[in-house]
């Protein structure tokens, strides 16, 4: 996130990845591999790590099937929010991902954000319901 929102320089980002690796103490984390692939601009490594994260998500959903409410399951089976976010970050870095990714609609990857004035909320408070 420091790269995308704070514009952190490469040495700082590399140091953060090294600290993450150290904190893992030998445990593998595919999200670290995703970050490394984005840092290196490696489309192939990003795609491989993304597939691992997606499989972990599927396993987690299966394991929690009985404890999650039906509305949560219904949403999670149609849209992978983390996948959308990761794909949009990768697209922003011009990594060449597949046009279609499971549970990551192309429209969600390419949609332009709606620009709303900072004080738009005030208009909602002034609005009166139709009689």
pLDDT tens for each residue of 6-36: 577 888 888 999 999 999 999 999 999 999 9
DSSP H stretches of helix in the chain? 2-5, 10-24, 30-40, 43-64, 70-76, 81-92, 106-110, 120-126
Is 131 part of any domain? no
Confirm whether 63 is domain-assigned: yes
- Number of structural domains (the chain) is 1
SS3 9: coil
Predicted confidence (pLDDT) per residue in 62-116, tens digit: 898 888 888 888 888 889 999 999 998 888 888 888 888 888 888 888 867 778 7
The pair of three-digit structure tokens given for residue 62, joined into one six-digit string: 């299966």
Tell me the residue range of the domain where 6 lies: 2-126
Quote the CA–CA distance of 3 and 1 in Å, as a whole number.
5
């Amino acid at each position: 996130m420091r790269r995308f929102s704070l514009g952190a320089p490469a040495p700082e980002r590399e140091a953060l990845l090294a600290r993450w690796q150290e904190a893992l103490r030998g445990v593998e984390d595919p999200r670290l591999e995703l970050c490394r692939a984005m840092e290196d601009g490696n489309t192939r490594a990003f795609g491989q790590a993304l597939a691992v994260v997606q499989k972990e998500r599927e396993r987690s959903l299966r394991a929690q099937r009985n404890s999650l409410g039906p509305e949560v399951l219904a949403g999670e089976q149609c849209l992978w929010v983390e996948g959308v976010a990761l794909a949009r970050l990768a697209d922003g870095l011009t990594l060449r991902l597949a046009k279609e990714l499971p549970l990551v609609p192309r429209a969600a990857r390419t949609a332009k954000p709606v620009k709303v004035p900072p004080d738009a909320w005030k208009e909602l408070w002034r609005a009166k319901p139709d009689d």
